Chain A
Amino acid sequence: EDQVTQSPEALRLQEGESSSLNCSYTVSGLRGLFWYRQDPGKGPEFLFTLYSAGEEKEKERLKATLTKKESFLHITAPKPEDSATYLCAVQAGNTGFQKLVFGTGTRLLVSP
């Protein structure tokens, strides 16, 4: 069964204090690994898709990396507006559409 485990469950950082969020996965043939951001009371908002081990993508203060077993979301010099829940999801290789398996997320709080 496809599974996604995210750690830590919650993370509190000071503004400017860089850190990384972890996403470990087991999937029957990875078609894609996705990172989404979710603010309270809102739906997930797409951040990145990674397709193969060694791939990296960046957007502002965020950088996502992928290995064969896990993905990291690195946050460099975070700001309070980066506070949100970050969700990781995988799409198995045997589905041609986005039947995603999500982790439970990491709740990030960045204090000024």
Chain B
Amino acid sequence: NAGVMQNPRHLVRRRGQEARLRCSPMKGHSHVYWYRQLPEEGLKFMVYLQKENIIDESGMPKERFSAEFPKEGPSILRIQQVVRGDSAAYFCASSPRDGVEKLFFGSGTQLSVL
């Protein structure tokens, strides 16, 4: 039973380019969360999605960032016109439903902006 799969593991972009991060939740999980971990900071909530719906995006920067979780395929976190401050580890987590005891995290995507 595969865990949460994230790809790519490492992504290098130049300032102004677009970054696309993918997350396939665990089998049977329909709820996806994205968290960001900046150097020397704790994990910060970004967005919570269910299939085809954004439930809470209060942690997402208002500009350049977007997320989706289509009916088919992985969840995508998209960052347009990346800046150096976007360099961080981006983690995806999944759960089978609301109000569960725990989240299952992927191994993350390390984004480096040159």
Contacts and interface: CB of A to CB of B under 8 A. Distances in A.
Contacts of B98: 96-97
A42 to B, nearest CB: 5
B55 A97 contact: yes
B91 A43 contact: yes
Given A43-B106, A49-B102, A103 B42 contact: yes
A96 B99 contact: yes
B108 interface: yes
A42 B107 contact: yes
B100 A98 contact: yes
A87 B42 contact: yes
A102 B44 contact: yes
Given A97-B56, A104-B41, A43 B4 contact: yes
B30 to A, nearest CB: 12
A44 B105 contact: yes
A55 to B, nearest CB: 13
Given A97-B98, A98-B100, A43 B108 contact: yes
A112 interface: no
B87 interface: no
B72 interface: no
Nearest to B33: A98
A36 B98 CA distance: 19
Interface of A: 4, 32, 34, 36, 41-46, 49, 87, 89, 95-105
